[in-house]
């Protein structure tokens, strides 16, 4: 199954942040590494789609102090999600393999 670029980034972030992947940490993780800050809405819309496909699973945390007793929604990647991510990254790898960048001095 194909993944969009944001979906790829989200799955990588969820995998990298495991088990502390929730909206804010995911947003910061992506911003720190790509320089692009996806909006809260786009993160949740994509995570929603990924959950529908069975690539991520969400769970509520215990009430947290820093949010005044409110819960966070944590995400974890599932086995099919890891499989889809690996396939998607491999596809990019094979596409970029042996590329000669125009004008670049290698």
Partner 1 sequence: MGFVGRGRRYEQKAGKKGDKVLAIQCKYRADLSNMKVLYTSNHSGMSRAVDFIMLAHHGKRSNSAENLKTHVIAERQYDIDLIAKIVGAKDENCSPSGLAEFLLMLFAPKCRAEYMVDDQREQFARKCREFGRDYAVRWYWRDTLHSIWPQLRRAIGRTLKWGVVIAAMKRLAGL
Residues near partner 1, by CB under 8 A:
22-24, 27, 39-42, 44-46, 48-49, 66-67, 70-73
Min separation Cβ 21 and partner 1, Å: 12
CB 74 within 8 A of CB 21: yes
How, if at all, do strands 73-77 and 56-60 pair? antiparallel
Q: How far apart are CA 72 and CA 74, in angstroms?
A: 6
* Minimum distance of partner 1 from residue 80's CB (angstroms): 21
Q: How many CB atoms lie within 10 A of CB 96?
A: 8
Instruction: Provide, rounded to whole angstroms, the least separation between the CB of residue 73 and partner 1.
Output: 4
In the bound state with partner 1, the residue whose beta carbon lies nearer, of 44 and 89, is: 44
Pick 46 or 88: Cβ nearer partner 1: 46
Q: How many CB atoms lie within 10 A of CB 2?
A: 9
Residue 50 or 77 with smaller CB distance to partner 1? 50
């Amino acid at each position: 199954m194909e993944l969009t670029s944001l979906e790829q980034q989200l799955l990588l972030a969820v995998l990298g942040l495991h088990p502390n992947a929730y909206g804010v940490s995911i947003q910061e993780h992506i911003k720190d590494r790509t320089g692009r800050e996806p909006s809260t809405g786009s993160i949740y819309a994509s995570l929603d789609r990924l959950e529908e496909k069975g690539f991520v699973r969400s769970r509520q945390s215990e009430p947290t102090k820093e949010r005044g007793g409110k819960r966070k929604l944590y995400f974890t990647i599932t086995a099919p999600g890891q499989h889809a991510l690996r396939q998607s990254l491999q596809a990019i790898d094979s596409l970029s393999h042996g590329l000669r960048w125009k004008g670049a001095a290698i």
